[in-house]
Amino acid sequence: IPIGVREGVKLRVAGKGYFGPGGGPRGDLLFKVVIAPHATIERRGDDLHTEVPVAVWDAMLGGEVRLQTLGGSGTFRLPAETQNGRTFRLTGQGMPRIEGGKGDLYAKVKVVLPQELTPREKELIEELRRGRSGPDGKVG
């Protein structure tokens, strides 16, 4: 199967089908490519798309983010104050192209809030809220 082949492409392998009538030469084997879905990565043409869970602290302060790629795992630098839903393009980390090169990997940030805060964490967050809120309690 050629590298970079897409879903639905029909391929022919000469001489690998059934024998012809009366013991004649083998025919051709024809098949249609079906690509099984990946658990966390979606293919769109030669590009790949994935969601990357990011802790709220890393979204606010920035940092190195690990993610799954076709080659295993990779990293990219998350800038400070990254908003939920922002998408980053990792050039050349997508599917191989039949004509050479690779598509891109698009990583969409999914900010994950902590499940349980310690009393100290709650106190610090309250302090941040008081410092960032206007007189009416709204962020401003």
Count the neighbouring beta carbons within 10 Å of the beta carbon of residue 133: 12
Task: Residue 47: count other Cβ atoms within 10 Å of its Cβ.
Answer: 16
Are 27 and 64 found together in one domain?
no
Mean pLDDT along residues 116-130: 92
| Within-domain flag for 127 | no
CA-CA distances (angstroms) from residue 5 to 12, 61, 100? 13, 40, 12
Instruction: Read off the pLDDT band of 23 (50, 70, 90).
Output: confident
Number of folded domains in the chain? 2
pTM > 0.85: yes or no: no
Let me know if residue 9 belongs to a domain.
yes
Task: Supply the range of the domain harboring residue 75.
Answer: 38-113
- Residue 98 and residue 50 share a domain: yes
123 assigned to some structural domain: no
Once rounded to an integer, what is the mean pLDDT over residues 5-30? 89
The C-alpha atoms of residue 52 and residue 116 are separated, in whole angstroms, by 21
| Whether pLDDT at 56 is above 70 | yes
What's the confidence (pLDDT) of residue 7?
Answer: 83
